[in-house]
Chain A
Amino acid sequence: MDELQQWVNKDAVYLISAVLFIVGIKMLSSPESAALGNYLSALAMVLAVGVTLLQGGITDFRWIAIGMAIGAIIGFAASRLVKMTAMPQMVAIYNGLGGAASALVAISEFLRLQGQLAPFLTIVILLSLFVGTLTLSGSLVAFAKLQELVSGQPVVFPLQHPINLLGILGALGCGVWLVFHPGGMEYFWIVAGVALVLGVLVVIPIGGADMPVVIALLNSYSGIAVSLTGFVLENNVLIISGSLVGASGIFLTTEMCKAMNRSIWNVLFGGFGLTAEGAPAPATEIPGGGAVKSYSVEDAVTIMENSSSVVFVPGYGMAAARAQHQVRELGDALEARGIDVKYAIHPVAGRMPGHMNVLLAEANVPYDLLKDMDEINDEFKHTDVALVIGANDVVNPAANEDPSSPIYGMPILNVEQSRHVMVLKRSMNPGFAGIENMLFYRENTLMVFGDARATLSKMVDAISQD
């Protein structure tokens, strides 16, 4: 043990570890190399933590061992038990835990070095505490919304922005005081408390369909918190891996915002889906007196059987109904009849980036059939049937045509260009944003009402009976 300790250079191992993290993420650029990339990243983690245990000057390993065992058991069980439809919630919780770990280390360092902190160190400890705590409470609210423990609707209250601003200024004041008077524990706790409350206040006004942006942003915060911890501990591997996570979160956040044609400020502070008075957005005038064509499962199947190409367009409704396996069965049944089947995925379909892809992969849909919006949008005009399963705003043609619509300018899947559009829907209730979907009233659109999962099962049965 002693020989091993002398022989291993801690900083060299940290360097190898940082390189492996980067290579691991780089290998996520293709589904073929991604799994190996994940193993390399895990190896990087084992190396970094291993060398810290070996050379960190730690004398008492008992508590560490107990903590690691508890964490490993919980992590293992969670990774086995979580349903793929619940991945957004799981990522939300992990963001929160990352933030919590950073905040706890910051508190522990502050206690250890109390009264003898250099100004720069005080600043990074406070930032690490603030960002970590905010990430924790914000992520818990995001989790509660995704798990539907609280309403997914935006919750707005008067003086929202002034209260938030007051909190930030208060925390800033305490921080400045602490830089000049190191050791004022009560001010330190005030900063933590403000961050805890702010995390709740910032996430609670954001609606369910905007959760992809929020999760990505909190993901980024958890990475920034790790980087700040790296500054506190003067450890480069933490700075590097934290900044990778931070960059990833920011990248995904901007991608999601682009896909909704909204700015990050509008998502965070817009209270989307509510007008200034807090009432639902007014309904637009509906052509044709609001009549939709409702079809039976059998009639819908007849149309599909007589087509040569079908594109599935899944949305959050597919996840909510856990219908991904039925989608795949229907796809297989159609393919067996020589019909060309593809899957069109909008970047913000579902509750987190890539949500639909993972669900369809779970149902064993080959990934070469999963098409991004840019790949598939030109194909709809040559498509016989676009089958919309629980998607709403991402296929609303108002985004292209109606400048008065709140979603005008948002890039959408151009399903309305297909010869037939079939919409599987529970009822005529408008989507999250309360925006009427003109697609449902189109000449070439037919609705099949009912639970998506049950409807799809009936469709599969109807096809195999012939």
Chain B
Amino acid sequence: MVSVFLIGIYVFVLSVFVGFEIISKVPPMLHTPLMSGTNAISGITLVGAVLAAGKGESNLAIGLGIAAVICGMINVVGGYMVTNRMLQMFRKKKEAGQSNG
């Protein structure tokens, strides 16, 4: 049991380093899409939420699971779509002239 958690801690520590490394390369211009994009990624709790909703043994546990599914799904769908909407707006000079604005 403890070793599983230890491996989890390894994974956690290493991916924090990876995270810092790649995120420090994101230009300040894209910091808002970075935040909404990471909002979408935190919707990954959906994995835990569907298990809770699908395997819960009491009505309370299932109810909590469904609530978590709704929250997670809003994050995933809303987060990715609004990030995409923002990223489509960033244009270079030559492209900007042709767009509808």
Contact = CB atoms under 8 A, between A and B. Distances in A.
Contact of A361 (B26, B45, B67, B90): B90
Interface in A67-92: 67-68, 70-72, 74-76, 78-80, 82, 84, 87, 90-91
B75 A239 contact: no
Contacts of A200: none
A202 interface: no
Given A26-B22, A49-B46, A101-B48, 19 more contacts: A45-B76, A45-B80, A57-B55, A63-B54, A68-B73, A71-B77, A72-B73, A76-B77, A79-B81, A90-B82, A100-B71, A101-B42, A104-B68, A112-B61, A120-B5, A219-B35, A247-B16, A345-B29, A362-B89
Given A223-B38, A241-B44, A56 B5 contact: no
A245 interface: yes
Contacts of B51: 52, 56, 58, 233
Contacts of A76: 77-78, 81
A353 B32 contact: yes
A64 interface: yes
A420 interface: no
9 nearest CB pairs, A to B: A71-B73, A247-B19, A75-B77, A354-B31, A75-B78, A58-B54, A67-B69, A353-B31, A79-B81
Interface string B76-101: 11111111111111111101100101
A67 B72 CA distance: 10
Interface string B48-74: 111111111110111011111111111
A104 B96 contact: no
Among A66, A79, A227: residue with most chain B CB under 10 A: A79
Contacts of A104: 49, 52, 64-65, 67-68, 71
A445 to B, nearest CB: 27
Interface residues on B, range: 35 or more
Interface stretch (A152-160, A162-170, A366-374): A366-374
Among A53, A239, A347: residue with most chain B CB under 10 A: A239
A38 B80 contact: yes
The B interface, classified by DSSP as helix, strand, loop or mixed, is helix
Nearest to A43: B80
Contacts of B58: 111
A79 B29 contact: no
A191 B91 CA distance: 48
Contacts of B12: 227, 230-231, 239-240, 243
A245 B82 contact: no
Given A38-B87, A71-B77, A63 B70 contact: no
A39 B85 CA distance: 12
A95 B26 CA distance: 20
Given A243-B15, A247-B23, A362-B89, A107 B64 contact: yes
Interface string A190-217: 0000000000000000000000000110
Given A49-B50, A71-B74, A111 B61 contact: yes
29 contacts: A22-B15, A26-B22, A45-B46, A48-B44, A49-B76, A57-B55, A58-B54, A72-B73, A78-B74, A79-B78, A79-B82, A97-B71, A98-B43, A101-B43, A104-B67, A109-B52, A111-B56, A216-B35, A219-B39, A223-B38, A223-B42, A226-B42, A244-B18, A353-B31, A354-B32, A357-B29, A363-B101, A372-B28, A372-B29
B64 A108 contact: yes
Contact of B86 (A26, A251, A358): A358
Interface residues on A, range: 35 or more
Interface of A: 18, 21-22, 24-26, 28-31, 34-35, 38-39, 41-42, 45, 48-49, 52-53, 56-61, 63-64, 66-68, 70-72, 74-76, 78-80, 82, 84, 87, 90-91, 94-95, 97-98, 100-102, 104-105, 107-109, 111-112, 118, 120, 124, 215-216, 219, 222-223, 225-227, 229-252, 255, 325, 345, 347, 352-355, 357-358, 361-370, 372
Contacts of A352: 31-32, 35
B26 A108 contact: no
B98 to A, nearest CB: 10
B75 A60 contact: no
B33 A34 contact: yes
Contacts of A31: 27, 29-30, 87, 90, 92
B38 A245 contact: yes
B48 to A, nearest CB: 4
Contacts of A68: 69, 73
B84 to A, nearest CB: 6
Contact of B37 (A41, A84, A108, A242): A41
A53 B50 contact: yes
A195 B23 CA distance: 29
B28 to A, nearest CB: 5
Nearest to B93: A366
Given A98-B75, A108-B52, A364 B101 contact: yes
Nearest to B34: A28
Nearest to B85: A79
